Amino acid sequence: MKLFVGLGNPGAKYAQNRHNIGFMALDRIADDHGFSPWKGKFQAALSEGRLGSEKVILLKPETFMNLSGQSVGEAMRFFKLDSTDITVFHDELDLVPGKCRVKHGGGHAGHNGLRSIHQHIGPQYDRVRLGIGHPGNKNAVSGYVLRDFPKADANWLDDLLRGISDGVVQLAQGDTGKFMNAVALRVAPPRSSKSPAPKAQTPPPANDAQPAAPDDRSKLQQLMDKFK
């Protein structure tokens, strides 16, 4: 069994915030893969289903971001899981918007949701880091992550979430390479080999030749000049 955790803040006020991209990823997985309706348990919203041969629990803590670890620790103990059975989907300031990276263990890099999870289960869990970009000033981070994604981000955000859903079976089975390939095919699809080649440009006419000067001589003068 695997436990997939999405990080975010509960309630309609926060639903479209950059900080809630972890919730968005789990919602897409649940919708696309026929998971059970969400129900309240472990101070969280919980949904159950299968990804390939693997039973998977989806968990969206409703304790607010800074206390996410309470919910995660409670669920881990109830299902008798190890921390290495847990994968956390979260926003990542240090990745450009639309980038996705998988990380095994490590620090929390100041992310309050990860910090809380560290406190309750330790650092040995997997993360799917979802790039939202950085506002450029550390003092602006709080306001930035708690603002909604702008309309201009809708296309890359949809591609990223679809890519995660496409590859999530491989992620559950531990094949992070195939998972990342599935994401890449959505966010950076290869160009078609059947695309028409650019048309050759016709070179402009050469400008070396100078136009002949008009001949103002009379026909008689032209004839006389021939015999000079």
Q: Which residues are annotated as catalytic? A: 19
For residues 33 and 168, the answer to whether their CB atoms sit within 8 Å is yes
Paired tokens of 138: 């550390």
Strand order in the sheet with 100-104: 39-41, 44-51, 54-61, 2-6, 86-92, 126-131, 100-104
Place of tokens 């015999």: 227
Phi, psi of 73 (to 5 degrees): -65, -40
The burial class, CB within 10 Å (0-12 / 13-18 / 19+), for 17 is: buried
